[in-house]
Amino acid sequence: MTELPKTLEEAIAQAKEATQAALNDGRTKLQVELVFPEIALQAQSIAQQFIPLFEHLGVQPKVFFPDTGAAALARRDWGDVPFKIDDVGTSRTPVERKIKPEDEAFLLVAPSAVEVAQVEKMSNLAGDRPFVLLNPQMEDVNIVGIGYAGRKLRDRFLSTIESCYYLRPVEGAAVLRSYPSLWQVWLETDDEYQLIAEEPQRPVGEALDQILAKATGTNASGETAPSKKPGFLTNLQRILNAISR
């Protein structure tokens, strides 16, 4: 059984293990999500920690950032590296210039819904080569400029990508998926987390509410038992909030 990580470092290590396991099983279209709103501030650092995963598999990745500014910052901070760093570009940039036959693997860092058309084309051109989305922001409801057609395109594309690692804190609980395990719901109990459900699909919305209500004994009026001491994920969320201010 997959255990809930106790630190951010453990979560990143767990995400790398899940990604490698999925790639070893022939799953090449993958995404890794640490769903903390402020984690985007650490996208470059987390991406750097993922590079050895590809090298361990014997392939050299090409790393993509959403825009030229983020790519330039990574080039400056990472210095001389044996792999290429590029940006996703815009819809006016020919994708063929980004994805080349000699490329071995691809790591896309925090692509948003704005770049979904480009990213889908890149995924198609990648074929069966490893293609990993790291902390994609494609489901961010705050993204503007994406209408109905854009949402349909995003949803269609995301249906082709397997979530090999997902960690998201919710009020008093957490949702975790670490390949090849099922989707898990963990509930805060004192200073620990207890596994309360395993599902074949990601529990969201009403389905998640029902799982939590059953575990916490929520009554018809919506009242719950007194809150417990916050666990690791709640505290981590508070730390990230403080850092982002």
What CATH number did the domain enclosing 103 receive?
A: 3.40.50
- pLDDT digit string (tens) for the chain, length 245 residues: 678 888 888 999 999 999 999 999 999 999 999 988 666 668 899 999 999 999 889 999 999 999 899 999 999 999 999 999 999 977 677 888 899 999 999 999 999 888 888 899 999 999 999 999 999 987 754 454 556 667 787 788 888 899 999 999 888 899 999 999 999 999 988 778 899 999 999 998 899 999 999 988 864 344 444 444 455 565 555 544 443 44
Q: Which of 124, 161, 126 is nearest to 22 (CA)?
A: 161
Q: Which of 7, 19, 67, 24 is nearest to 43 (CA)?
A: 67
98 phi/psi in degrees, rounded to 5? -95, -40
Give dist(CA 4, CA 158) in Å, integer.
Answer: 25
Structural domain including 85 reads 1-245
Residue 178 three-state SS:
strand
Q: What is the pTM of this model?
A: 0.85
- In the chain, the number of structural domains is 1
What DSSP line would sit under 104-140, residue for residue? Answer: -EEEEES-BGGGHHHHHHHHHHHTTS-EEEES-BTT-
Give dist(CA 131, CA 32) in Å, integer.
Answer: 11
Give dist(CA 124, CA 20) in Å, integer.
Answer: 21
Contact 52, 78 (CB under 8 A): no
